C-alpha cells in the first residue's frame, strides 16, 4: 500500500497532476479489499466497473478535460444508499437481491465529483444498531482490535476507511451511526445539519432524524466529501436551500475568538474514565490554543434516549411498511394476502428491526399516541431549546461521542436497553437537527481509539471543521492507523 495511507487531498493532487493514474489507486483499493475484507467483512457487494471508471478519469486528465474534486478517489457506499443497477439491501433479507433503477442523490453527486464507488458497505439492518452485529451479511470486525465491534450502524463504512480499503465512505446518522463508528475506528465522521444532504434514495429509517454524511481519515477530507454531497435537492422537500460554503478551503484552526461550551451533564461521575481522559485532554489542548471554555447546561439530555427511541421507532414502523413482498424483495408466496405479508415480513426482517417496528407501532396506536409519540415530540422541542440556549453562550459544544470505547462482539447484544443507552451522547444532536462531528481524540491503554464530539448550531459546520482541524493538528495521537494495514 502506497497511496491509500495518504489523505484524499494528497492523492487527488497526485491524480490530477498526472503523477499517478486513478487506475493505479483503484487497483490498490481492490488489493486492499482483497487483503482485509474476508476478515473485516466491511464490503458486502463489490462494484465491477470501478477500474473502468478510473480509466475514464485518467483519459480525461490526459486530455486535460475538467474532472471533479474527488476524481479517481476510491470510496465505499453504505448499503443504505440506493445504487442504480447495483444490489442494495440495507443489509436486510427483506430486500432479496433488489437492484434499484435509480441512485440516491448522494451517490449521483459523488459520481459527478469523480469519486469511484468500490461497492456497498455493511451496516446494521436498516441502520438499526450500534455495533454492526445485526446484518444479513454477518458482523463486521474492528480493524483496530479483532473481536471488537466497529460500532454501528455504519460499521462497514468505518472499518473500510480505517483499514484503508478506501479513502472515504458514506454513512447515515439517525442516532449516532456515523459519529459512534468513527469514534470506535479512529476516523473523522460528520453528521451535518438536518436538511444539508438530500435523503432521496437513501433507505429511510427515521425520516426526521436521518442524515447522510462522510467518513474520512482527516478533517479536510471529511469537509471536502461533505461539500460534494451537500445542497438543495428538488427531490427532497426537507433538503435546505442554505448555501454550501467551501468548508475544506475555508478551514481555519485559529481558535482565538472561539468559545467552546462544556455541557456539565455530559461529564458526570459515571463517565467512563478512559473517555473522560481523552475528552478532557482535548479541552486542555483547545484552551492552550486560545479557545475560551465555558460550562453550559443541556438539562434535557437525560430524556434524549427514550425520546429518540419513541420517535425513531414510530417513523420506522411506517417507513418499513413498504417492504411487503408485493413489488420487490423477499416474498413468501401465499394465497391469502395477510399470510403473504406476515410470512414475508416475518422472515425478511431481523429481530432488532422487528423489535423497533413493534415499539413504533405501539407508540403510534390510538390511545397511546398522546402519551408516547406526541409527548416525545414535545420533549424533542425542549432538547432543541437547550441547544439554542447553549449556543447563545458558545460557538460549539465539546463532549464525548460514546460512553465507552469499542466493546467486544456479542457483549451487549442480549441487552437492547443497555445497547440503546450507548447512544446518550449522540442522539440529542439528531433530535435537535444540529451538526455533530467525531474526531480522533486518542487511544485507550488497550490501543482502542476514542473520539471527541463537537456540536454546533444549525448550518455551522465550518465551526466544527475549524475546531476539529485544530485538534487534528495539535493532539498528540501515537497511532492514526491500525497495525497490520
Partner 1 sequence: MGYEEYESIIGLEIHAQLQTKSKMFCRCSTQFGAGDNENTCPVCTGMPGALPVINKKAVEHSIRVGLALNCRINEKSIFARKNYFYPDLPKGYQISQYSEPLCEKGYVDIIINKEKKRIGITRAHMEEDAGKSLHYGEYTLINLNRSSVPLLEIVSEPDLRSPTEAAEYARAVRAILIYLGACDGNLEEGSMRCDCNVSVRRKGEAKFGTRTELKNINSFRFIEKAIDYEIQRQIDSIEAGKKIVQETRLYDSTKNQTFSMRSKEEAHDYRYFPDPDLLPLEAKRSWIESIRNELPELPEERKKRFQTQFALPEYDADILTREKGLADYYEVVQKESNDPKASSNWIMTELLRELKNSDKEISQSPINPKQLAELIRLINDKTISGKIAKDVFADMYRTGRGPSAIVKEKGVVQISDEVQIEKWVTQVIAGNPKQTEDYRGGRDKLFGFFVGQTMKLSGGQANPEAVNKILIKKLKGQA
Return residues touching partner 1 (CB under 8 A): 81-82, 88, 90, 95, 98, 100-102, 104, 199-204, 206-208, 234-238, 314-315, 317-318, 320-322, 324, 326-328, 335, 337-338, 341, 361, 364-366, 369, 373
Q: Is 297 a catalytic residue?
A: no
Q: Which is nearer to partner 1, 259 or 318 (CB)?
A: 318
List 135, 153, 228, 344, catalytic entry: 153
Task: Report helix, strand or coil for 20.
Answer: coil
* DSSP structure class, residue 125: G
Closest CA to 217 of 27, 39, 15, 5: 5
Q: Which is nearer to partner 1, 337 or 408 (CB)?
A: 337
Q: Which is nearer to partner 1, 230 or 317 (CB)?
A: 317
Q: What angle do CA 53, 192, 209 make, to 5 degrees?
A: 105
Q: How far is the CB of 412 from partner 1 (least distance, A)?
A: 29
Distance CA 68, CA 110 (A): 9
User: Would strands 74-78 and 168-172 be described as parallel, antiparallel, or unpaired?
Assistant: parallel
Grid coordinates given for 244: 454550501
Q: Is 17 a catalytic residue?
A: no
Closest CA to 2 of 22, 28, 26: 28
Q: How far is the CB of 434 from partner 1 (least distance, A)?
A: 17
Q: Which is nearer to partner 1, 137 or 144 (CB)?
A: 137
Q: How far is the CB of 317 from partner 1 (least distance, A)?
A: 8
List 29, 103, 131, 177, catalytic entry: 177
Q: Is 256 a catalytic residue?
A: no
Q: Which is nearer to partner 1, 4 or 90 (CB)?
A: 90
Q: How far is the CB of 464 from partner 1 (least distance, A)?
A: 25
Distance CA 314, CA 10 (A): 44
User: What residues have CB less than 8 Å from 39, skipping those under 6 apart?
Assistant: 141, 146
Q: How far is the CB of 194 from partner 1 (least distance, A)?
A: 10
Distance CA 172, CA 197 (A): 10
List 6, 29, 53, 78, catalytic entry: 78
Are the CB atoms for 147 and 408 separated by under 8 Å? yes
How far out from the chain centre does Cα 342 lie? 32
Report the catalytic residues.
Answer: 78, 153, 177
Amino acid at each position: 500500500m502506497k497511496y491509500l495511507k495518504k489523505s484524499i487531498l494528497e492523492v487527488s493532487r497526485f491524480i490530477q497532476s498526472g503523477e499517478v493514474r486513478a487506475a493505479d489507486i483503484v487497483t490498490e483499493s481492490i488489493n486492499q479489499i482483497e487483503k482485509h475484507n474476508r476478515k473485516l467483512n466491511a464490503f458486502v457487494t463489490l462494484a465491477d466497473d470501478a477500474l473502468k471508471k478510473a480509466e475514464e478519469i485518467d483519459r480525461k486528465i490526459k486530455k486535460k478535460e475538467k474532472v471533479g474534486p474527488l476524481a479517481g478517489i476510491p470510496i465505499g457506499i453504505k448499503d443504505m444508499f440506493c445504487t442504480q443497477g447495483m444490489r442494495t439491501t440495507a443489509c436486510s433479507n427483506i430486500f432479496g437481491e433488489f437492484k434499484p433503477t435509480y441512485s440516491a442523490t448522494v451517490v449521483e453527486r459523488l459520481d459527478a465529483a469523480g469519486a469511484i464507488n468500490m461497492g456497498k458497505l455493511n451496516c446494521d439492518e436498516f441502520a438499526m444498531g450500534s455495533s454492526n452485529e445485526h446484518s444479513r451479511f454477518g458482523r463486521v470486525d474492528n480493524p483496530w482490535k479483532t473481536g471488537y465491534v466497529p460500532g454501528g450502524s455504519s460499521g462497514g463504512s468505518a472499518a473500510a476507511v480505517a483499514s484503508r480499503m478506501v479513502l472515504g465512505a458514506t454513512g447515515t446518522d439517525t442516532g449516532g451511526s456515523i459519529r459512534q463508528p468513527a469514534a470506535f475506528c479512529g476516523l473523522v465522521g460528520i453528521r451535518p445539519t438536518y436538511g444539508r444532504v438530500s435523503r432521496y434514495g437513501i433507505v429511510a429509517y427515521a425520516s426526521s432524524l436521518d442524515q447522510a454524511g462522510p467518513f474520512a481519515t482527516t478533517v479536510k477530507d471529511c469537509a471536502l466529501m461533505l461539500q460534494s454531497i451537500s445542497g438543495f435537492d428538488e427531490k427532497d422537500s426537507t433538503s435546505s436551500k442554505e448555501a454550501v460554503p467551501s468548508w475544506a478551503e475555508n478551514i481555519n484552526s485559529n481558535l482565538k475568538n472561539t468559545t467552546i461550551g462544556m455541557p456539565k451533564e455530559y461529564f458526570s461521575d459515571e463517565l467512563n474514565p478512559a473517555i473522560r481522559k481523552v475528552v478532557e485532554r482535548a479541552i486542555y489542548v483547545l484552551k492552550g490554543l486560545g479557545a475560551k471554555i465555558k460550562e453550559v447546561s443541556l438539562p434535557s439530555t437525560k430524556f434524549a434516549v427514550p425520546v429518540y427511541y419513541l420517535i425513531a421507532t414510530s417513523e420506522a414502523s411506517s417507513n418499513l411498511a413498504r417492504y411487503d413482498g408485493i413489488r420487490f424483495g423477499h416474498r413468501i408466496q401465499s394465497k391469502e394476502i395477510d399470510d403473504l405479508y406476515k410470512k414475508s415480513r416475518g422472515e425478511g426482517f431481523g429481530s432488532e428491526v422487528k423489535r423497533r417496528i413493534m415499539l413504533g407501532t405501539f407508540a403510534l396506536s390510538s390511545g397511546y399516541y398522546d402519551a408516547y409519540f406526541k409527548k416525545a415530540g414535545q420533549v424533542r422541542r425542549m432538547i432543541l431549546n437547550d441547544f439554542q440556549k447553549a449556543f447563545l453562550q458558545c460557538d460549539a459544544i465539546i463532549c464525548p461521542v460514546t460512553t465507552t470505547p469499542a466493546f467486544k462482539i456479542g457483549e451487549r447484544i442480549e441487552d437492547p436497553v443497555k445497547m440503546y443507552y450507548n447512544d446518550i451522547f449522540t442522539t440529542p444532536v439528531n433530535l435537535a437537527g444540529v451538526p455533530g462531528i467525531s474526531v480522533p481524540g486518542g487511544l485507550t491503554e488497550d490501543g482502542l481509539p476514542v473520539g471527541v464530539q463537537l456540536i454546533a448550531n444549525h448550518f455551522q459546520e465550518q465551526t466544527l471543521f475549524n475546531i476539529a482541524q485544530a485538534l487534528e493538528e495539535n493532539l498528540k495521537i501515537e497511532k492514526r492507523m491500525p497495525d497490520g494495514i
